[in-house]
Structure 1
Amino acid sequence: MKLLGNKRLLILMLGLICFIALMGLTFGQLGYKTWPEKFMKDTISWTQGLIYKPVGFIAGVFEEVNRLRTLHEENTVLRETLSRYARDTTRLNDLELQNERLQAALGFTERQKSMNKYNFRIAEVVTFQQANKTITINLGEKDGIRPNMAVQSVEGLLGRVVAVSNFYSDVQLLTGIDDKAASNSKAITVTVKGKENESFGMIEHFDPDKQKLIMTKIEPNDKLQVGDTIITHGAGLVFPRGIEIGKVVERYEGEAVTHVAAIEPFASFNHLREVFVIEVPELR
Structure 2
Amino acid sequence: MISFILFIAVIGYSISSRAGLTVPEKFLRDTTAYVQQWFYKPAGYIAGLFQDIGNLRSVYEENEQLRMTAAAYAREKVEYNLIQQQNERLQAKLNFTEEQKKMYDYKYLIAQVVAVSPDAFNRTMTINLGTREGLRERMAVTTEDGMIGFVSEVSELTSTVMPITSLNDEESGISVTVLGKQNQSFGILSGYNSETEHMLMTKIAANDPIKKHDIVITSGLGNIYPRGMVIGKVDSIQDSDIGLTRTANIKLSANFDHLNEVFVVQTPGASQ
Q: TM-score, normalised by structure 1?
A: 0.79
The residue number in structure 2 matching 1:268 is 255
Identity of aligned residues (%): 36
Q: Deviations over 1:224-275 (max 9, x none)?
A: 1112110112234332122111111211234564322111222222232322
User: Are positions 1:204 and 2:193 aligned together?
Assistant: no
In the aligned structure 2, how far is the partner of 1:193 from the partner of 1:207?
A: 23
TM-aligned CA deviation for residue 19 of structure 1? 4.5
Q: Deviations over 1:78-122 (max 9, x none)?
A: 333333333333333333333333333333223222322222112
TM-aligned CA deviation for residue 26 of structure 1? 5.8
Letter in 2 for 1:235: L
Distance verdict in 2 for CA 1:233–1:83, change over 3 Å: same
The secondary structure found in structure 1 opposite 2:152 is strand
Letter in 2 for 1:192: V
Matches within 5 A, 1:1-284: 19-25=9-15, 34-53=26-45, 55-56=46-47, 59-60=48-49, 62-129=50-117, 131=120, 132-174=122-164, 176-179=165-168, 182-185=169-172, 187-254=173-240, 257=243, 258-283=245-270, 284=272
Q: How large is the RMSD of aligned CA atoms in angstroms? A: 3.1
Pick the structure with greater CA Rg: 1
1:32·1:38 contact (CA, 8 Å) conserved in 2? no
2:171·2:190 contact (CA, 8 Å) conserved in 1? no
The secondary structure found in structure 1 opposite 2:223 is coil
TM-aligned CA deviation for residue 123 of structure 1? 1.6
The secondary structure found in structure 2 opposite 1:281 is coil
Which protein has the bigger helix share? 1
Distance verdict in 2 for CA 1:166–1:110, change over 3 Å: same
1:247·1:266 contact (CA, 8 Å) conserved in 2? yes
Distance verdict in 2 for CA 1:14–1:157, change over 3 Å: closer
1:157·1:267 contact (CA, 8 Å) conserved in 2? yes
Aligned residues: 264
In the aligned structure 2, how far is the partner of 1:151 from the partner of 1:13?
A: 100
In the aligned structure 1, how far is the partner of 2:261 from the partner of 2:70?
A: 31
TM-aligned CA deviation for residue 23 of structure 1? 4.3
Letter in 2 for 1:114: K
The residue number in structure 2 matching 1:8 is none
Distance verdict in 2 for CA 1:45–1:95, change over 3 Å: closer
In the aligned structure 1, how far is the partner of 2:18 from the partner of 2:208?
A: 119
In the aligned structure 2, how far is the partner of 1:178 from the partner of 1:27?
A: 115
In the aligned structure 1, how far is the partner of 2:193 from the partner of 2:269?
A: 34
1:177·1:204 contact (CA, 8 Å) conserved in 2? no
Letter in 2 for 1:156: G
Q: Which 10-residue stretch deviates more, 40-49 or 195-204?
A: 40-49
Letter in 2 for 1:140: G
TM-aligned CA deviation for residue 38 of structure 1? 2.1
In the aligned structure 1, how far is the partner of 2:97 from the partner of 2:209?
A: 30
In the aligned structure 2, how far is the partner of 1:194 from the partner of 1:65?
A: 81
Letter in 1 for 2:62: E
Distance verdict in 2 for CA 1:91–1:49, change over 3 Å: closer
In the aligned structure 2, how far is the partner of 1:249 from the partner of 1:32?
A: 116
Unaligned runs of 5+ in 1: 1-11
2:8·2:32 contact (CA, 8 Å) conserved in 1? no
In the aligned structure 2, how far is the partner of 1:198 from the partner of 1:242?
A: 15
Distance verdict in 2 for CA 1:248–1:20, change over 3 Å: same
1:26·1:32 contact (CA, 8 Å) conserved in 2? no
The secondary structure found in structure 1 opposite 2:67 is helix
